[in-house]
Amino acid sequence: MVLAYNSGKDPRAEGKEIALVDITNTTVTTSKGKTVTLKANVEDLVAQGLARESQLKYIGQGKAIFVREGCWWCHTLLPEQGHDWQYFGMPPGPDDMVGESPTLFGSDRKAPDLLHVGSRQTSRAWMTQHFWNPRLVQPKSMMPRFDYLWSKNGSGTMVDGKGNAIDEASWDAQYQDYLSKVDAGDFSAAPPAVPSYGEDSDVRKLLDYVLSLK
């Protein structure tokens, strides 16, 4: 059940008794003109094919990792007026910030705005490579590697999707060999495959959050 205060404000601030109204399945229009039906829980969203339960489960945790890793130091979630709209999309409206704590507008943009990145870049495989080593997809990227997120809860123990330990040194050696071949003109060379990630790894949670930004 989705509930709202019948007065439109929190009565607890005035020491009053809480009176709630069921607004489940109410249709509302956002500031961007999008019609949205309020849903009660994960099961409703999954049943209508709007999201997978496993993804919804980790989005909140992924946001916490986004904050913890300082992603907002370089990325904004606030397209500016003007040319930003042509590439990054419309800026957020007041309704987009409802229930958001903290709001991640960012401190200083040194990299692309991410408010609608889930619409621009829908490939989970691309995003996985980007987090493991950004230079795999953007050779001049200044973004640091986040390969250590292949661990769980910041444990530092990096394992793949099958639970096997990841030999990062071996991967790095293969990657350097790949770069050497490219520098020598062998453009048929392919970089080493990025390890798969565990179901509850930090990178999976971060991926779910970033790809939910639409």
For the segment 150-181, what is each residue's pLDDT rounded down to a tens digit? Answer: 987 667 789 999 999 999 999 999 999 999 99
Instruction: Tell me: do 116 and 26 sit in the same domain.
Output: no
Instruction: Tell me: do 51 and 36 sit in the same domain.
Output: no
Instruction: Tell me: do 81 and 65 sit in the same domain.
Output: yes
Is the pTM higher than 0.75? The answer reads no
| Separation in Å, CA 35 to CA 21, 38, 137 | 21, 10, 36
Q: Given pLDDT bands bounded at 50, 70 and 90, which one contains residue 121? A: confident
Instruction: Tell me: do 26 and 95 sit in the same domain.
Output: no
| Angle between helix 202-211 and helix 124-132 axes, rounded to 10 deg | 130
Q: Residue 129 is part of a domain; what is its CATH number?
A: 1.10.760.10
User: Alpha-carbon distance 84 to 23, whole Å?
Assistant: 35
Instruction: Tell me: do 51 and 20 sit in the same domain.
Output: no
Nearest to 196 by CA among 159, 167, 171: 159
CB-based contacts of 102: which residues, under 8 Å, 6+ apart?
67
Instruction: Tell me: do 24 and 56 sit in the same domain.
Output: no
Q: Is 133 exposed, middle or buried (0-12, 13-18, 19+ CB in 10 A)?
A: buried
Provide the pLDDT for residue 87: 66
Q: What is the pLDDT of residues 66-117, one digit of tens each?
A: 989 989 889 888 777 666 666 666 776 766 666 666 677 777 778 888 888 8
The parent domain of residue 178 ranges over: 41-211
Please say whether the beta carbons of 133 and 145 come within 8 A: yes
Provide the mean pLDDT of the chain: 76
How many domains is the chain partitioned into structurally? 2
What proportions of the chain, in percent to the nearest 5, are helix, strand and coil?
Answer: 40, 5, 55
Please say whether the beta carbons of 205 and 58 come within 8 A: yes
CB-based contacts of 214: which residues, under 8 Å, 6+ apart?
116, 118, 119
Peptide bond into 102 cis (omega under 30): yes
> 32 in the Ramachandran plot: left (φ > 0), alpha (ψ -120 to 50) or beta?
alpha
User: Alpha-carbon distance 57 to 34, whole Å?
Assistant: 24
